[in-house]
């Protein structure tokens, strides 16, 4: 076979099911206490610091990390369960999600020991928020065209330039960003970029909010003017960020957040059609559930590969490609099926409000975190076409 794509049927171990019960009980308590409303994915107050600290206190942040950095040394499958339960409940994870999924693992791998000891335990306690500084005004999918400069100076670097579409930069305590330390070479246009840890909320950084078509202000423009970053904040090899980027992608691209972003409209549709749906609604729901189930099984399978120490980059890209296309179509299919829902359905207003938001959210899903086009390029490379 040209492409030995494997998605072995992983079954979650018993301890995951115990954990799932704990997470559900915790979320039910928080909902009852009014910390968040599971029916409102478009909540204005997406930053809920006390919720982050409670999740941290439960030991559900940095779960897979070494204990000496505040982690729990638990498995990726356990982390998976926590992530999917939070996502399905529409819990306010914004403040900790990026740090837990992405920034923490980068620091674990590339940061000097004293920085790990300083920052990782604070992530685990849910105290700090991270942003990712990748895109620039003229560099989006073409990551290696980044121009924001890091110029060597005494004891560190001076940063000048602009990052854009940076989610949560307005609340973030830190950013992990790539800056240009050298020009690209003729042989390797990816050469010359370096990964840095940046402490936010300092002079020399200006964060300008950017409005989104959903009406929210989640992403930002971040302008650096002679901003100083000390030497020990370099993450990994100078000029060699391109070598470090790829292995993280499997973590970033295969999680439950890649097909559950609009899941809530499916739940509300099922509620609206009631226990005896007509044939049209039943078939529509059945097909959507079949897709959902398949993607989750694929996603769990990738989590199992990660747990086994593999780097399933192609499989993860397939999960994100199929998953994001599906979650993008989901609100439109639900809208089709909801067209004949009785006027008297008790949750009609909730469904309509959710659809309004999900339909506006949909376009970003196949863009953020690696566009469909980029993903298909990676899959094609895995197939031996490039």
For other proteins, which is the closer residue by CB, 66 or 274? 274
Give the separation between CA 226 and CA 163, rounded to whole angstroms.
14
For other proteins, which is the closer residue by CB, 76 or 219? 76
Q: Report the alpha-carbon angle 256-257-261, nearest 5.
A: 120
Minimum CB separation from other proteins for residue 354, in Å? 12
Task: Please report, for residues 8, 12, 36, 44, the alpha-carbon distance to residue 350 in angstroms, rounded to integers and kept in the order given.
Answer: 38, 33, 16, 16
Minimum CB separation from other proteins for residue 316, in Å? 11
Give the separation between CA 164 and CA 15, rounded to whole angstroms.
41
For other proteins, which is the closer residue by CB, 113 or 276? 276
* Number of Cα atoms under 13 Å in the Cβ half of residue 42: 19
Minimum CB separation from other proteins for residue 368, in Å? 19
Locate 351 and state its tokens.
Answer: 């469904």
Give the separation between CA 172 and CA 99, rounded to whole angstroms.
10
C-alpha torsion angle, residues 253, 256, 257, 261 (rounded to 10): 130
For other proteins, which is the closer residue by CB, 165 or 259? 259
Minimum CB separation from other proteins for residue 61, in Å? 21
DSSP 8-state assignment for residue 143: G
Q: Which residues bind other proteins (CB under 8 A)?
A: 1-3, 5, 7-9, 11-12, 20, 84-85, 88, 263, 266-268, 270-271, 273-277, 279, 281-287, 289-298, 300-301, 315, 318, 321-322, 373, 375-377, 379-380, 382-386
For the CA atoms of the chain, what is the radius of gyration?
A: 21
For other proteins, which is the closer residue by CB, 75 or 281? 281
Minimum CB separation from other proteins for residue 241, in Å? 25
Minimum CB separation from other proteins for residue 30, in Å? 17
For other proteins, which is the closer residue by CB, 27 or 193? 27
DSSP 8-state assignment for residue 239: T
């Amino acid at each position: 076979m040209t492409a030995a794509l494997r998605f072995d049927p992983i079954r979650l171990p018993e301890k995951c099911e115990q954990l799932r019960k704990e997470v559900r009980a915790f979320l039910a308590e928080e909902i009852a206490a009014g910390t968040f409303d599971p029916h409102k994915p478009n909540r204005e107050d997406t930053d809920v610091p006390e919720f982050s600290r409670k999740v941290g206190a439960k030991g559900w942040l940095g779960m897979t990390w070494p204990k000496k950095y505040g982690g729990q040394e638990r498995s990726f499958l356990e982390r998976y369960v926590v992530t999917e339960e939070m996502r399905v409940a529409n819990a306010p994870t914004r403040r900790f999600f990026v740090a837990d999924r992405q920034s923490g693992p980068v620091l674990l791998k590339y940061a000097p020991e004293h920085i790990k000891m300083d920052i990782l335990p604070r992530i685990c306690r849910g105290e700090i928020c991270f942003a990712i500084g990748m895109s620039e005004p003229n560099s989006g999918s073409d990551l290696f065209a980044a121009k924001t400069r890091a110029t060597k100076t005494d004891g560190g670097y001076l940063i000048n330039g602009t990052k854009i579409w940076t989610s949560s930069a307005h609340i973030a305590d830190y950013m992990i960003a790539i800056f240009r330390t050298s020009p690209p070479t003729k042989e390797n246009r990816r050469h010359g970029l370096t990964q840095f840890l940046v402490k936010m909320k300092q002079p020399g950084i200006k964060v300008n909010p950017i409005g989104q078509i959903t009406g929210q202000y989640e992403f930002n423009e971040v302008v650096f003017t002679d901003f100083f970053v000390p030497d020990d904040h370099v993450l990994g090899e100078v000029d060699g960020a391109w070598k470090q980027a790829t292995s993280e992608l499997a973590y970033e691209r295969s999680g439950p957040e890649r097909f559950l972003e609009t899941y809530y409209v499916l739940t509300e549709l099922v509620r609206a059609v009631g226990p005896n749906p007509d044939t049209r609604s039943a078939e529509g729901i059945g097909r959507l559930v079949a897709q959902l189930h398949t993607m989750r099984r694929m996603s769990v399978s990738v989590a199992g590969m990660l747990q086994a120490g593999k780097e399933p980059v192609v499989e993860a890209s397939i999960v994100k490609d199929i998953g994001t296309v599906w979650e993008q179509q989901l609100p439109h299919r639900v809208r089709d099926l909801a067209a004949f829902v009785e006027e008297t359905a008790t949750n009609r207003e909730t469904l309509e409000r959710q659809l309004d938001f999900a339909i506006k959210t949909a376009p970003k899903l196949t863009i953020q975190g690696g566009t469909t086009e980029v993903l298909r390029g990676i899959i094609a490379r895995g197939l031996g076409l490039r």
